[in-house]
Copies of this chain bind each other. A is one copy, B any other.
């Protein structure tokens, strides 16, 4: 599932790879970074996919479990906004997670219309395993990159996010940290 396996590609040499060394590129064309990000992300999500398919879940379930674990007590509406999907799409995934005992819903204390979302022990364990898998990949990669790479990677990844939305993502992360 995490396989990229670009094996034995004896492709005829003649292509469109511009050197593109015009503005402090350090000799690295952007198209290389584009392709590396593509493959890196593919393997990154592949880690989780393997575990998820065994449970009959998909990436949608992963995202829900992850964010609910990070933000216990979040409302359904909050989750919809983070995931940027529709109520209907979330509905099926959420129902499956609730039915299988990964997520719990509790009516809000002040506003009883709200169904606040919490991970059940089963869901917390799944979230923990998923984070552990991906943590391992980051740890290995950053270890190869030497000291300072973690801070550099953090800065780089944050910089790749749309500037308008970066503050909100940082707020989301800060909100989830510093608890427990």
Contact = CB atoms under 8 A, between A and B. Distances in A.
Q: How large is the interface on A (under 10, 10 to 19, 20 to 34, 35 or more residues)?
A: 35 or more
A163 to B, nearest CB: 8
Given A9-B82, A161-B40, A175-B13, A149 B152 contact: yes
Contact of A33 (B18, B36, B153): B153
Contact of A11 (B11, B142, B175): B175
A99 interface: no
Interface centre among A20, A35, A149 (most CB of B within 10 A): A35
Majority SS at the chain A contact face: helix
Give the number of times this chain occurs in the complex, counting copies.
2
B177 A159 contact: no
Contacts of A4: 84, 161-162, 165, 168-169
B5 A168 contact: yes
A162 B2 contact: yes
A30 B134 contact: yes
A7 B168 contact: yes
Nearest to A162: B43
Given A9-B74, A15-B69, A40-B160, 12 more contacts: A4-B162, A8-B81, A11-B73, A11-B175, A15-B72, A16-B69, A17-B70, A30-B138, A32-B177, A46-B162, A141-B156, A153-B156
